[in-house]
């Protein structure tokens, strides 16, 4: 499956078509799983996406299948009897001497499977509703036509022809309507982010100057040295290599004959762009304590004995404020926008969580009657 197809598959579960209706009075109606303000999330919607989750999970195990896999959605209302029966049917016989899993053990597996899917789907149903309501407050509108256009672009990139796309829908239990709605909410989230961060990227010259003064090292390039080097296991061997070089033999020939370093041995002993602190301390001190062109060694290191010469020295360089201005401005703009988005995300989640009431069997961390979770930085995710 291509990367874009995987994205579509995940997207189908990440934001979903929530069936909403006006809700008069408090509490969660019997045909719903949650309320967000005066809107309800229908149980039929929850059941629809629970099935899609089961089909999608089964499809990942057999991605080349051309027909929808047969799945059993964990049935909590029926004490997982159907799920237990399915697991009993599909679980391989135990090894000799081992007992078959009990109904209680299989029920626990079904419960864990159900809870994991429930938490994911409830969270996405709720957050899709939040995004839709917040977009209305901010005057943001995305039409179905806009969403379908984006989906069509993704389809062209992911599927060679329409028959492949139709097989994908069948295999994952999806409809085009499901994906169009997902794309619409995704666009809403993008536009909310854009509106929240608009104008928050302004940076003053004083801020740029202050950042440069506090982070000069980030805009500096340290001195670098290009070496010719031979590494040997013994001092005697290193001394032989040095004598060979002094007699006029080339670095390439000497490196091939004497060096044990696989990187530089086949490259004429070249070791380019060495910065202080990158090598063994003894070699590091020797390299940055000698002049260009001098043959040095043998030097003992933890890796053996080295003979080297410095071929080229590239001096350290410090970018000026003028040279660094654009990159600093970009950094500060991004930071200002991130702070604005973080502040919005905290307020956004608190506001909508306080308006979200979930039926007892469907409580998740995004419900006001659920356990709070860590704050998110974006409204729709």
Between 264 and 289, the higher pLDDT residue? 289
Do 26 and 186 touch, CB atoms closer than 8 A?
no
pLDDT at 92 over 50: yes
pLDDT of residue 374: 55
Least confident of 47-61, 233-247, 285-299: 47-61
Mean pLDDT (the chain) is 85
Between the alpha carbon of residue 305 and those of residues 141, 239, 259, 262, 342, the distances in Å are: 70, 9, 10, 15, 54
Domains by residue range for the chain, with CATH:
3-192+346-362 (no CATH), 223-315 (3.10.50.40)
Task: State the pTM of this model.
Answer: 0.66
Between the alpha carbon of residue 304 and those of residues 280, 310, 375, the distances in Å are: 10, 19, 53
Q: Average pLDDT in the 147-153 region?
A: 92
pLDDT of residue 68: 63
Q: Average pLDDT in the 162-182 region?
A: 87
pLDDT at 17 over 50: no
Q: Average pLDDT in the 203-214 region?
A: 93
pLDDT of residue 355: 94
pLDDT at 379 over 50: no
pLDDT at 331 over 60: yes
pLDDT at 19 over 90: no
pLDDT at 184 over 70: yes
Between 23 and 359, the higher pLDDT residue? 359
Between 352 and 96, the higher pLDDT residue? 352
């Amino acid at each position: 499956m291509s990367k874009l197809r995987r994205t579509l598959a995940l997207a189908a579960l990440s934001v979903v078509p929530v069936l909403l209706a006006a809700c008069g009075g408090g509490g969660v109606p019997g045909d719903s799983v949650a309320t967000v303000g005066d809107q309800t999330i229908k149980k039929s919607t929850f059941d629809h996406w629970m099935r899609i989750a089961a089909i999608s999970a089964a499809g990942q195990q057999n991605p080349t299948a051309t027909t929808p896999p047969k799945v059993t959605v964990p049935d909590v209302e029926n004490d997982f009897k159907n799920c237990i029966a399915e697991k009993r049917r599909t679980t391989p016989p135990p090894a000799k001497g081992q007992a078959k899993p009990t109904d209680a053990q299989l029920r626990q597996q079904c419960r864990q499977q159900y809870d994991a899917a429930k938490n994911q789907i409830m969270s996405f149903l709720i957050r899709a509703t939040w995004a839709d309501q917040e977009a209305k407050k901010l005057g943001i509108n995305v039409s179905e036509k806009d969403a379908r256009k984006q989906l069509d672009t993704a389809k062209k990139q992911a599927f060679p022809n329409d028959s492949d796309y139709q097989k994908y829908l069948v295999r994952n239990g999806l409809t085009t309507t499901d994906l169009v709605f997902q794309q619409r909410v995704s666009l809403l989230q993008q536009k909310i982010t854009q509106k929240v961060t608009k104008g928050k990227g302004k940076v003053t010259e004083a801020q740029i100057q202050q950042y440069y003064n506090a982070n000069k090292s980030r805009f500096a390039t340290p001195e670098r040295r290009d070496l010719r080097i031979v590494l040997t296991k013994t001092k005697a061997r290193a001394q032989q290599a040095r004598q060979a070089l002094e007699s006029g033999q080339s670095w390439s020939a000497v490196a091939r004959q004497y060096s044990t370093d696989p990187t530089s041995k086949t490259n004429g002993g070249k070791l380019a762009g060495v910065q202080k602190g990158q090598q063994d301390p003894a070699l590091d001190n020797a390299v940055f304590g000698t002049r260009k062109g001098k043959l040095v060694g043998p030097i003992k290191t933890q890796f053996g004995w080295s003979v080297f010469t410095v071929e080229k020295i590239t001096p350290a360089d410090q970018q000026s404020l003028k040279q660094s201005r654009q990159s600093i401005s970009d950094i500060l703009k991004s930071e200002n926008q991130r702070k604005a988005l973080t502040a919005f995300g905290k307020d956004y989640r608190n506001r909508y969580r306080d308006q979200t009431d979930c039926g007892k069997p469907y409580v998740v961390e995004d419900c006001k009657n659920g356990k709070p979770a860590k704050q998110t930085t974006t409204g729709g995710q």
